[in-house]
Amino acid sequence: MALPKGLSAVLVRSPSDTVILSSFRTPICRSYRGQLKDAYPEELLSVVLRATLDANPNLPPESINDVAVGVVLSELGGSKAARMALNHVGFPNSTSLYTVNRACSSSLQSMATISAQIRSEMIGVGIAAGMESMTRNYGSKAIPVDLWPELKKSEVKDARDCIMPMGLTSENVARRYKVGRKEQDEFAVESHRRAARAQDQGSFDQEIVPVHTRFQEIDKQGNKVGDEKQIEVRKDDGIRTNATLEALAKLKPAFKEDGGSTAGNSSQVSDGAAATLLMRRSTAAELGLTSSILGKFVAATTVGCAPDEMGIGPALAIPKLLGQLDIEAKDVDRWEINEAFASQAIYCVRELGLEKEWEQGKVNPDGGAIALGHPLGATGARMTATLMHGLGRSGGEVGVVSMCIGTGMGMAGLFVRE
């Protein structure tokens, strides 16, 4: 099916549209010491899947044909545990499930894949989700430990660079495109400021589903402190409400002695999950659910780049997506650009000509991954939930979600709020 061309065509409501009926996420919490550190990724997935059913009581569970779950780090690709979680919370055996791994864009890819299934009439209703527990599964720092030795010593630099630590790719972007340390720290402080304001104003409340789980306090040496507790987690816990430029400036470079990327101006290692319910507009009408439509998924695209500067991905993917749809940046009301590192986020904002939009609060108006966290497989779906609810509050229509991807890629998706 051909993509719509031009803003008016993008905004037109068609029976063949892929519409969104709900978009939820768990709180995003710091790995290792945050409130979700003891939760399992599939446990977090079960929460957002159950919330999807509960939020759509007039949708028979058996009408949901397929579920795509973005996940990067889980054992066996997460497929068995995710399927178990699906059944555990009340989905029938007739609802199928698969997992998706395109690194940091995995759950945006799940959104694009479910939409493609809907548009091709393979299915009528589907869920695009994502899950990640970096506490449980980040031991290798997302670098393969059992790798064909020939690749490690490949004569092709780009092949070797696919396992370059992400922090070093951030330093490459900063050096090549002249993004200074102070700029990175300023960007990070602003991310925390925006996220703290949004949290304080209740802006995340509609998108967040509380998680009831267990929590064992530990000391700095990893020893247990007291007994395990049952807790309810309602808020993201990585936001530093008191972040200051002075405090961030004191942090040592995390990846290179003379570098500018630190623990304070890089995305947080995080745990969380998210899910978005999608269906054909005509199906929504047949089921009497038209009044529940939040908006629609329009299109997404991917593009490759050099692995050693993977952070520039959004600066390549976004123009490609806008070009495919024949619309301009000025037509977009809200941008969610993943803050893997302040260095690459700053570069992308500059390269895309969005400096004014950043200042006006149209780019990451409620903060980004530096403040909220980056649970790899869940990030795309988390950003979608933040985008759709944010557009609803502001009255905007068109929004873009984009992120860089380890090994050298970028992805971008365009959504419309109704």
Write out the catalytic residue numbers: 104, 374, 404
Helix axis angle, 379-394 to 106-119, nearest 10°: 70
Question: Which residues pair with residue 130 across a beta bridge?
Answer: 70, 274
CA distances to 192, 250, 305, 370 from 244, in Å: 9, 10, 34, 14
Do 37 and 238 touch, CB atoms closer than 8 A?
Answer: no
Burial of 96 (0-12, 13-18, 19+ CB in 10 A): middle
DSSP E strands in 225-354: the ranges are: 229-233, 270-280, 295-304, 334-337
Q: Which two tokens stand for residue 94?
A: 């007739």
Query: How many Å is the maximal CA-CA distance in the chain?
Result: 61
The alpha-helical segments, DSSP class H, found in 148-294 are: 149-152, 157-161, 166-176, 181-200, 245-249, 281-286
Question: Which residues pair with residue 22 across a beta bridge?
Answer: 277
Write the DSSP symbol of residue 147: -
Which strand (E) or helix (H) includes residue 126? Answer: strand 125-133
Burial of 153 (0-12, 13-18, 19+ CB in 10 A): exposed
Q: How many CB atoms lie within 10 A of CB 244?
A: 13
Do 229 and 215 touch, CB atoms closer than 8 A?
Answer: yes
Q: Which two tokens stand for residue 373?
A: 């966290």
Cα–Cα distance, 311 to 345 (Å, whole number): 8
Query: Could you give phi then psi for residue 333, rounded to 5 degrees?
Result: -90, -25
Q: Which two tokens stand for residue 25?
A: 């996420």
Cα–Cα distance, 253 to 245 (Å, whole number): 15
